[in-house]
Amino acid sequence: MKKQTILTAICSLSLAAIGLFSVNSVTTHASSVNTYIASNNINHTSITSAIWSGFPKNKYRNSKPEGVVVHETANPNSTIYNEIAYMKKNYSNAFVHTFVDASRIINIANTNYLAWGAGYPANARFVQFEQVRVHSKSAFAHEIANAAYYTAYILDKYGLTPNDAAYDGKGTVWSHGAVSKYLGGTNHTDPKDYYASMGKKYFGASYTFAQFYQLVKTNYDNLATSDGSAHGAITSNVKKSYDNVSYAKADSQALLGDNYKSYRLYNHVKNSRANVKKYSWSSVSAKVGKKVYIDDIGTKDNGHDWYRIRFTNSDNAKKYWVYEGALDLEQ
């Protein structure tokens, strides 16, 4: 999709994916990308859940997804976080469920509800995800491994069987191009050109959606054997999303503000990692106007700051993290 213009490692590829295979009487040569993924034991990453409550919740035409649409952003200069931020701001025009790059699969919209990223007929039927453009051989292989896994994961989650829609428009795995050809409501052809150009640039031959589909099938088959479950009863490995924080050393002072009791003390910046602990103010004999000493500042992607404080001037004093709203920094 163009704007302005996601239980285990891949163990091995099936013979069909590394030799010659036939799909609906169309013969396709082995993919050097798929072979590279297999021979280098490239694993898919875990799915990160970062559901944003701002997206609308509209039902699919048959109450649940009927397949997956694979997109790419067509923006060579963006990052996965840039894309997600843009989509949250512009969701009334278009949004998808998930973004994928070389190291992340980030699910931002609940897949139990439809998204709009490929025209009404497809929106009412399919889970949709975007691939962010990457810029190296390894990155592209990792991204394809992630994208194929996520496609298989969604099929498995909703009890669907892999079937490439490219040949008759009746399948469960769709490129945006297949949507344009068979369902309408859109005229985009991604990820065809992106796949082809990356295949030629880094692997010596165009990568095709048919070859990507073979990797999806391999992942789907592996899902059934890796956790012992039947398809449609997958044990998810979705992990919690943590906030990105950039840190800067500091040597300053502040006072506890009038509203400090509205906040808590933590051993790390809240939601920056697993098992962050919180502490009550009573444990530090806090009061409005109490002086604190700051030695580190953590800034989240949303622009809000967190401060690492101690309650005496000793470097050996216990340190806590607190949100900016608890402090009076104007002194």
Q: Report the Cα 35 to chain-centroid distance in Å.
A: 24
Q: Which two tokens stand for residue 78?
A: 């963006």
Q: Can you tell me the mean pLDDT for 235-255?
A: 78
Residue ranges with strand state E in the chain: 21-23, 26-28, 47-49, 67-72, 98-100, 105-107, 126-131, 173-175, 239-240, 245-256, 265-266, 278-279, 291-300, 305-310, 320-323, 327-328
Continuous H helices in the chain: 15-18, 32-39, 80-89, 120-123, 137-157, 176-182, 192-203, 209-226
Q: Which two tokens stand for residue 140?
A: 């592209």
More confident of the two residues 12 and 312: 312
pLDDT recorded at residue 244 = 84
Q: Can you tell me the mean pLDDT for 232-253?
A: 73
Residue with tokens 């091995």: 12
Q: What angle do CA 136, 193, 148 make, to 5 degrees?
A: 65
> Is residue 16 scored above 80 in pLDDT?
no
Rounded distance, CA 141 to CA 259, Å? 50
Enumerate domains of the chain plus CATH numbers: 15-240 (3.40.80.10), 245-328 (2.30.30.170)
The β-bridge partners of 254 are 292
Cα R_g (the chain), whole angstroms: 24
Q: Can you tell me the mean pLDDT for 147-175?
A: 95
Confidence of residue 9 (pLDDT cuts 50, 70, 90): very low
Residues 42-89: tens digit of each pLDDT: 999 999 999 999 999 999 999 999 999 999 999 999 999 999 999 999
Q: What angle do CA 230, 235, 237 make, to 5 degrees?
A: 140
> Is residue 14 scored above 90 in pLDDT?
no
Residues 197-213: tens digit of each pLDDT: 999 999 999 999 999 99
> Is residue 28 scored above 60 in pLDDT?
no
Q: Between β-strands 278-279 and 265-266, what pairing exists: parallel, antiparallel or unpaired?
A: antiparallel
Confidence of residue 230 (pLDDT cuts 50, 70, 90): low
Q: Is 261 helix (H, G, I), strand (E, B) or coil?
A: helix
Sign of the CA dihedral with 42 first, then 46, 51, and 55 last: positive
State the maximum Cα–Cα separation within the chain, in Å, rounded to a whole number: 78
- Report CA-CA distances (Å) from 1 to 72, 80, 83, 184: 6, 14, 12, 14
Name the DSSP class of 268.
S
